[in-house]
Amino acid sequence: MSKPELKVAIIGSGPSGFYVADALINSGISVEITLLEKLPCPYGLIRYGVAPDHQKLKRIANTLDTIAEHPSVTFLGNVELGKDISLEEIKLNYHVIVFCNGMPDSISLGIDGEQLVGVSPCNDLIGWYNGHPDYQEQEFDFEHDAAVVIGHGNVAIDICRILSKSIDELRSSDIPENALEVLSKKKLKRVHMVGRRGPVQAKFTTKELHELGKLSNCNVSLDPIHLNLKSACQQELDDTSNIVVQKNYKVMQSYASNFSELNDKSKTQISIDFMLNPKCFTGDKQLSSVLFEQTYLEGTPFNQTCKSLEGLIEMPCGLVFTSVGFRGTLLENLPVNEPKRTLTNQNSKLLGSDGKTVEGLYAAGWVKRGPQGVIGTNRECAQNTVDNILKDSPTLLETSVEGKAGLLTMLNKKNRRYVTFEDWKVIDNKEVENGLVLGKPREKFVTVEEMLACL
Ligand SMILES: Cc1cc2nc3c(=O)[nH]c(=O)nc-3n(C[C@H](O)[C@H](O)[C@H](O)COP(=O)(O)OP(=O)(O)OC[C@H]3O[C@@H](n4cnc5c(N)ncnc54)[C@H](O)[C@@H]3O)c2cc1C
């Protein structure tokens, strides 16, 4: 007798969705997997978050293709849970539903002036220059002298790099032509990357921090005063667990030696500014400056809190991008942990509003553990989710469900134009073909309609 087949629906085809599918395939159980994705294209933030000038990293998508092409896996794009299909409808057809829908929203600062023209959460810019269909209405005016990026992590570095590279350098990325045209009007001379805390607390990785200093038409600098560390910060830096920070510190020392060169008007000046807490944005409709409080750190090593000094410092600028973290969206009344809106879960199993685990519902990736780690971190996270699914599978298999066949019947009844993986490959090939003509890795379709029309 053949083994009963576990029918699994995965919501979201970013790295975690793919890694859950892979771990299920490799588990040895008999399994049928449907990878549901709201967009017609797979890969989540690999396609729409990873910087467009980091093409080598984006190639991870090629290795994920083998997972989507496995006979146990069916990719169904252009199907959004909560819009095109409800959770109740999916539940009717599957033993297991794994939420891998990521954290698509930026956390806002909640300070005055955030609504001014010129102030944007980082997602708006990143989604726009990566060609995400949800962000194509965004408008940016890069004809200002100065931009401020608030945040000290790799996402902030990505933004500084894209804002500072010349248009010729950007042409070899996969930034879509419509965005390149707007970026070609760029007049930015100064880009400030500002954080509330000091060099030891910044969340950069060394490779990204170092890359910033290699840009051909930029000077990166920071005020050496910030490298004179107070005792608690020095102890944090010296701690053997802090190897990345020690490497970053060395890179920062080289940037501090550039400090006096800030007057080179022929280059874009990127300055890394520390110990500044944004208090409000000023301007009349259009942003004209950010007011910051200076801060200091109080406490013991690895347990320091940020306090503000009196008085405000004004930084004139026409553009601000806030990059202070991501949060999830509310979906189908599933309980979330505020403020990040991770799905409430215990050992990857979702909890209902009564605090008890809900049979058959699981999470993996950012929506499970929050916006941390690199792409590879999601593999381990997905394996952990699948280990928990496997423990529950004998009980789950007691119910009989139709799986993909039942879902397809529902989608066909709704006349939903879903996109298969073969369809996606048609879109993919066309994008690469269109890019070739322009000397780019690909020219993305930036609307869902364009993608569907290509089929
Ligand atoms: C700007 C940025 C740059 C980054 N750069 C790097 C980098 O250079 N290197 C690195 O290692 N990591 C990088 N990361 C981190 C990396 O992208 C994440 O670790 C990873 O993408 C998280 O995977 P995920 O599958 O949990 O979420 P996501 O990648 O966000 O995937 C979620 C998927 O779910 C889909 N979805 C959402 N809602 C629904 C719904 N209702 N129905 C159906 N589908 C839905 C989305 O469309 C998306 O495809 C970056 C992150 C960001 C934000």
For residue 439, being part of any structural domain is answered with no
The Å distance, Cα 265 to ligand 1 centre, comes to 38
Q: Domain ends where: 306, 324, 342?
A: 324
Verify that 265 and 146 share a domain, yes or no.
yes
The CATH number linked to 26 is 3.40.50.720
Domain identity same for 73 and 85: yes
Task: Give the three-state DSSP class for 327.
Answer: strand
The CA-CA-CA angle for residues 408, 414, 417, to 5°, reads: 70
Residue type, position 114, single letter? E
Q: Is the CB of 17 under 6 A from ligand 1?
A: yes
Do residues 125 and 218 both lie within one domain? yes
Sequence-ordered list of residues with C-beta below 8 angstroms from that of 89, at least 6 positions apart, any chain:
407, 410
CATH code where residue 320 lies: 3.50.50.60
- Among the listed residues 379, 345, 318, the one whose alpha carbon sits nearest the alpha carbon of residue 97: 345
Assigned domain for 453 exists: no
Question: Cα(46) to centroid of ligand 1, in Å?
Answer: 7
Residue 56 shares a structural domain with residue 161: no
What is the sign of the dihedral through the CA atoms of 361, 355, 329 and 193?
A: negative
Per-position b or e across 161-182, b if 16+ CB within 10 A of its CB: bbbbbeeeebbebbbbeebbeb
**Non-local CB neighbours of 117 within 8 Å, separated by 6+ positions:** 283, 285, 286, 287
Using most ligand atoms within 8 A of CB, pick from 22, 39, 50 the residue to mutate for ligand 1. 50
CA of 128 to the centre of ligand 1 (A): 15
Closest CA to 84 of 75, 76, 92, 93: 76
Last-in-domain residue among 292, 324, 356: 324
Residue 58 lies in a domain: yes
**Do residue 147 and residue 264 come from a single domain?**
yes
Q: Is 44 in the pocket of ligand 1 (CB under 6 A)?
A: yes
Within a domain: 435: no
Structure tokens at 171: 């042409």
270 and 217 belong to one structural domain: yes
Residue nearest to atom 5 of ligand 1 (CA): 50
Q: What is the pLDDT of residues 51-90, one digit of tens each?
A: 999 999 999 999 999 999 999 999 999 999 999 999 999 9
Q: Do 181 and 269 have their domain in common? A: yes
Work out the number of other CB atoms within 10 angstroms of the CB of residue 78. 22
In a domain, residue 451? The reply is no
Specify whether 100 is located in the same domain as 123: no
Kindly state whether residue 43 falls inside one of the protein's structural domains: yes
Domain membership of residue 284 (yes or no) is yes
In tens digits, the chain (455 residues) has pLDDT values of 677 899 999 999 999 999 999 999 999 999 999 999 999 999 999 999 999 999 999 999 999 999 999 999 999 999 999 999 999 999 999 999 999 999 999 999 999 999 999 999 999 999 999 999 999 999 999 999 999 999 999 999 999 999 999 999 999 999 999 999 999 999 999 999 999 999 999 999 999 999 999 999 899 999 999 999 999 999 999 999 999 999 999 999 999 998 876 566 788 999 999 999 999 999 999 999 999 999 999 999 999 999 999 999 999 999 999 999 999 999 999 999 999 999 999 999 999 999 999 999 999 999 999 999 999 999 999 999 999 999 999 999 999 999 999 999 999 999 999 999 999 999 999 999 999 999 999 999 999 999 999 99
DSSP letter for each residue of 59-102: THHHHHHHHHTSTTEEEEBS--BTTTB-HHHHHHH-SEEEE---
Decide if 428 is inside a domain.
no
Of all protein residues, the one whose alpha carbon is nearest to atom 48 of ligand 1 is 44
Q: What's the total number of domains in the chain?
A: 2
Choose one of 324, 353, 369: the last residue of a domain: 324
Is the CB of 417 within 6 Å of ligand 1?
no
Q: Which domain holds residue 291?
A: 108-324
Q: How far is the CA of 73 from the centre of ligand 1 (A)?
A: 20
d(CA 303, CA 305): 7
Domain check: are 121 and 98 in the same one?
A: no
| Residues 119 and 90 both lie in one domain | no
**What atom of ligand 1 comes closest to residue 42's alpha carbon?**
49
Q: Count of CB atoms within 10 A of residue 243's CB?
A: 10
Looking at the whole model, is its pTM more than 0.85? yes
Identify whether residues 13 and 130 lie together within a single domain: no
Say if ligand 1 is within 6 A of residue 365 CB.
yes
Beta pairing partners, 36: 11, 76
Do 112 and 42 have their domain in common?
Answer: no
